[in-house]
Structure 1
Amino acid sequence: MGVPVPVDVVAFDPVLEAGTKSTLFACPEVCLTGAGEAARVVVMTVDQVGRPELDVLRTVRDAPSRPDVVLVAGELAPDGALHAIAAGARGLLRRREADVTRLSRAVLAASRGDCTLPPDLLDRLLERSGAGGRAGGGSDEGTDPWAAAGLSDRERSVLRLVADGHETNEIAKQLCYSPRTVTSVVHDITQRFRLRNRAHAVAYAMRVGLL
């Protein structure tokens, strides 16, 4: 096991803050920061994703240490997810699903620069984009946004698993590819759209309506 990831918690409600910290205490891969210590990841716990919550998210991201943010929300709709990603969130979880396993996975993924989303939320965003409801603008009815963007079924499958926080070896096992193939697919996507990394690829796909 490596060095634990330093994590801080931000919440509007002290009860939510205490509950989130209690869950994180059970994650051996992370450690809660003390006063004056810089966090690598901040877990932000909210009831909903609205303008006040997004403003706080941006403020957290703009801190000198530039921590990555995992947003845990009581309610998480597709529009809220898009706004949160655009504001800088690396990971999104519903509060009822934020158990030790899922929360630690999201925090560790964020510390690596990766992005995580609930699988069913990805499906809803995919259904909406497939029906022409692109986040970045309108599209002709019946047009597949993935095809229009030049992304193959294989690239789509890999990107969805990246968004769910899976590592390269896990993606390779699930899709019956070699790890080298998965790495190559992600590299091709980032190069084609001039993206910085895996998290940027997921955020870009969401912003233009692909996820």
Structure 2
Amino acid sequence: MGEPVRVGVVALDRVLEAGTRSALEQGADLLVVDSADRPAVVVVVVDRVTEPVLDLVRRHRADEHRPEVVLVATELAPTSALHAIACGARGLLRRQEASVPRLAATVLAAAQGDCSVPPDLLDGLLERGAAGGMSDAWGSAGLSEREQAVLRMVADGRETSEIARELCYSVRTVTTVLHDVTQRFRLRNRAHAVAYALRAGLL
């Protein structure tokens, strides 16, 4: 048997954090540690997936040792799931479904690089994509058709001037579109914007 997976817990509610730590301590292959002890996986427990929560996921993923993140939320809608995955969450669970075995299995899967999503939520995302196509998925993520077109061309490696020429926009318009997308989703640059879209399955 190998070393146990080091796991940390973050929750705004101290009682909830203590309960989650206690549940994880029951996992034979898990070792609950403090954030300063470089956990391999961080479990973030929240009520709803808000922008501050997404920022928290991004910050943990940006840590020097880049821990995986498992997000446990009371409310978890398809759009929220897309954003959480795009921000780096490796596992998603609803709190009502986070039994000790299931939480432990999700943490262990995240540590191995696997992504876990509730089956019904995954089905909902797939059905949405099949029924409405990619444009509906883009729309649910808050991107206009113009933003979609620009990001697709950025993903293809096109320069700003090429994008402007092909889409019949000015260079300034293309630059503004990219700036708006990066600001709205708090992304670092155009490469990060494309990565965001790719990780959410939107490109």
Which residue is 2:82 aligned to? 82
Shift of 1:61: 1.1
Which residue is 1:127 aligned to? 127
Shift of 1:130: 1.4
Q: TM-score, normalised by structure 2?
A: 0.67
Counting helix residues as a fraction of each chain, which structure ranks higher?
A: 2
Change (3 A) 1:4 1:116: same
What is the root-mean-square deviation in Å for CA atoms of aligned residues? 2.0
Which residue is 2:33 aligned to? 33
1:92 aligns with 2:92: yes
Which residue is 2:73 aligned to? 73
What CA distance in whole angstroms lies between the structure 1 residues aligned with 2:21 and 2:99? 12
What CA distance in whole angstroms lies between the structure 1 residues aligned with 2:127 and 2:105? 26
Which residue is 2:194 aligned to? none
Paired residues for 1:121-160 under 5 Å: 121-134=121-134, 135-136=137-138
Shift of 1:69: 0.2
Specify the code of the residue in structure 2 equivalent to 1:125: L
Kept in 1, the 8 Å contact 2:83–2:200? The answer is no
State percent identity of aligned pairs.
Answer: 56
Specify the code of the residue in structure 2 equivalent to 1:3: E
Q: Deviations over 1:102-143 (max 9, x none)?
A: 1111111111111000000011111111111532469xxxxx
Q: Give structure 1 stretches of 5+ with no counterpart.
A: 139-202
Which residue is 1:64 aligned to? 64
Specify the code of the residue in structure 1 equivalent to 2:60: V
Specify the code of the residue in structure 2 equivalent to 1:26: Q
What CA distance in whole angstroms lies between the structure 1 residues aligned with 2:109 and 2:198? 17
Q: TM-score, normalised by structure 1?
A: 0.64
Please say which structure displays the higher CA radius of gyration: 2
Q: Deviations over 1:56-102 (max 9, x none)?
A: 11111111111000000000000000000000000000001111111
Specify the code of the residue in structure 2 equivalent to 1:101: P
What CA distance in whole angstroms lies between the structure 2 residues aligned with 1:102 and 1:61? 22
1:208 aligns with 2:202: yes
Kept in 2, the 8 Å contact 1:8–1:43? The answer is yes
What CA distance in whole angstroms lies between the structure 1 residues aligned with 2:35 and 2:85? 28
Q: Give structure 2 stretches of 5+ with no counterpart.
A: 141-196
What CA distance in whole angstroms lies between the structure 2 residues aligned with 1:35 and 1:122? 30
Specify the code of the residue in structure 2 equivalent to 1:20: T
